[in-house]
Amino acid sequence: MTVAYNKRSTEDPILRKLNLELNQEKAVIVGPNGSGKSTLFKAILGLAPISGGAVKLFGIDAMSERQDTRVSTNLAEVYRIAYVRVRDLVSIFAELKGGNPQETLGMFRDFELESILGKKVHELSTGQAKMFGNILAVCFSPKLILLDEPFDNVDNRRRRRFIEILRGLDVETVIITHEFNLLQRLGDWGLYSMLEGRLWGKFSVSQLDRLFITRGDMRDALGVMDTSLGKLSVTLDHGDIAVKTARSLNAVLGEV
Amino acid sequence: MIFWLFLYAFSFAQGVPKTQPALLEFSAFSYGSIALFSSSSLAISIAYSIYYASSSLVYSFRFTRLNLSSYIATLIGSSSALGIILSAIMIACTYIIIFSLKFGFNLAPANQLGAFGVSALAGVFMMTFALFLVLLVVNYAGLQNISLVTFILLILAFGLGLATVNSPLPTGLLYGSPYNAIQTLLYTTYSGLAAHAQLSDPTSAILQWQYMVASLIAWIVLLLGVDGLLLRRLKPRQAEEGRQI
């Protein structure tokens, strides 16, 4: 899949011939700011123009998808269907997704977020708005959940609680994050790295402690990334920079 | 709406003979004109919701149970209901508050139910037309041009709605213009009189209300079809793209 927002950028697209196939698994995508992670989700959901290639969800071309309630996301823009209070948005999307609004409202109570139910989305704090999207993404029995930076601006207690929910769900889940310290809790999830519009992997979150990034093309590399910084090899147990010592891929690339 | 009613009653009525028949016709004309302006404004505000919710609608049509038909039906239902409510308020204001009190005559509308029906159709037409313009802007012209929607709707309401007062227009335009159809039908339901091709000339041809209704319904059906096609191709846009400066 290639994604470019306009004709001028087709020579330098945001996503370049990206290939990703998930088969009933959970995965994390990490990458520095501006690498195209959020654009990937928007392209999957039909919110970004695909200039080449195709997206298939459960074997069906995503562009011809209609009324498929199996896919959900926490992207803020998909919940701006009406200028109403959070409680009303929950009711609207419960009806649209065929779910139970009371269960969703219960989750808001679990996260001690009842106070936001009477507010409009633009009145929420950044963290509250993020949790609003997170909760709606995991409710209503989805089969594929796409979470874009679900932990941004969320306090530690709610982060831990939300991770426990994600671990307990038996559905395909893809998370975009640059918070390496939180990945430790995700066990055997798949790990992909996005750099400059290209996706590299698949590695495993369980290998995170053993992953290194090294300049150059190493023979025993798990994968070699072709970037504007040159070739970067992802190696196991040895290398220039240990991924685990960095808070984010931005920091790793800065050191390399 | 109230502003326009006062303007018509206290300023534009200066040259109208102060007889009950003349004032009834003037009231009916005012009612029709103001309903045109008001329903245009109402439709714009509803259609603008597409502007803010384009990404959400694209997502919802694909990944929720929301389908195009039910969404359009909701818009039509709400616009026809608003048209009826607007009509009721306008009739009350035109009859009770402004024209009857101002001129001292009983200027009661002749056919309130007919007025409600025409107002419902007017609301639906304005909704489908405003939706058509907004979808053209969102899908093809870019959100920087969104203010054109308001401009086009109001210019047409003023121009086509008021054109028949003193100007003899071709028959094709008289029957083909949905704005003239709304203005004429509201005039007829309020006054109880047949509308003339040129309102200021009682010797001009009488307009057949049945053809007006058919014309308005035909426009609504046509616009519904086009709106459905454009909604199917809806492009997700960010509200920031509508910034002018």
Query: Across the A/B interface, how many CB contacts are shorter than 8 Å?
Result: 68
Tens digit of each residue's pLDDT (9 = 90 or more) over A103-138: 999 999 999 999 999 999 989 999 999 999 999 999
- CA closest to B57 among chain A residues: A81
Distance of alpha carbon B75 from alpha carbon B11, whole angstroms = 36
Is residue B111 a part of any domain in this protein? yes
Is residue B244 a part of any domain in this protein? no
Residues of B in contact with A145 (CB under 8 A): none
Is residue B68 a part of any domain in this protein? yes
Verify whether the Cβ–Cβ distance A97 to B56 is below 8 Å.
Answer: no
**A42, A77, A91, best to mutate vs chain B, most B CBs in 10 Å:** A77
Is residue B3 a part of any domain in this protein? no
Residue among B52, B58, B65 minimizing CB distance to A46:
B58
Query: Residue A44: in which H helix or E strand, if any?
Result: helix A37-44
With a CB cutoff of 8 Å and minimum separation 6, the contacts of A57 are A44, A65, A68, A70, A71, A144
- CA closest to A94 among chain B residues: B64
- Over its C-alpha atoms, chain A yields an Rg (Å, rounded) of 19
Which pTM was predicted?
A: 0.86
Tens digit of each residue's pLDDT (9 = 90 or more) over B129-149: 999 999 998 899 887 777 888
Is residue B4 a part of any domain in this protein? no
User: Which among A179, A130, A183 is positioned nearest to A158, based on CA atoms?
Assistant: A130
With a CB cutoff of 8 Å and minimum separation 6, the contacts of B164 are B174, B180, B183, B184, B197, B198, B199
Distance of alpha carbon A15 from alpha carbon A6, whole angstroms = 13
Tens digit of each residue's pLDDT (9 = 90 or more) over A155-199: 999 999 999 999 999 999 999 987 777 888 887 899 888 877 788
The yes-or-no verdict on residue A91 having pLDDT over 90 is yes
Is residue B119 a part of any domain in this protein? yes
Helices (H), B64-163: 68-92, 101-103, 112-136, 147-162
The CB-side HSE value for B124 (13 A sphere, CA atoms) comes to 22
Residue B125: what are its φ and ψ, rounded to 5°?
-60, -50
**A38, A45, A81, best to mutate vs chain B, most B CBs in 10 Å:** A81
Q: What angle do CA B51, B52, B57 make, to 5 degrees?
A: 85
Domain count, chain B: 1
The CB-side HSE value for A112 (13 A sphere, CA atoms) comes to 6
Query: Residue A202: in which H helix or E strand, if any?
Result: strand A198-204
Both tokens of B68, joined, read 């195009």
Mean pLDDT per block of 10 residues along chain B (245 residues) reads: 80 81 84 85 81 91 93 88 85 76 78 88 91 91 80 84 73 86 90 80 83 94 95 86 65
Q: What is the ipTM of this complex?
A: 0.89
Verify whether the Cβ–Cβ distance B67 to A67 is below 8 Å.
Answer: yes
Residue among B49, B55, B65 minimizing CB distance to A78:
B55
Is residue B80 a part of any domain in this protein? yes
Q: What is the pLDDT of residue A90?
A: 96
A240: helix, strand or coil: coil
Range of the domain at B85: 20-237
Is residue B213 a part of any domain in this protein? yes
Output the furthest CA–CA distance in chain A (Å, rounded).
Answer: 58
B28: helix, strand or coil: helix
Residue among A62, A80, A96 minimizing CB distance to B52:
A80
A15 and A1 Cβ atoms separated by less than 8 Å: yes
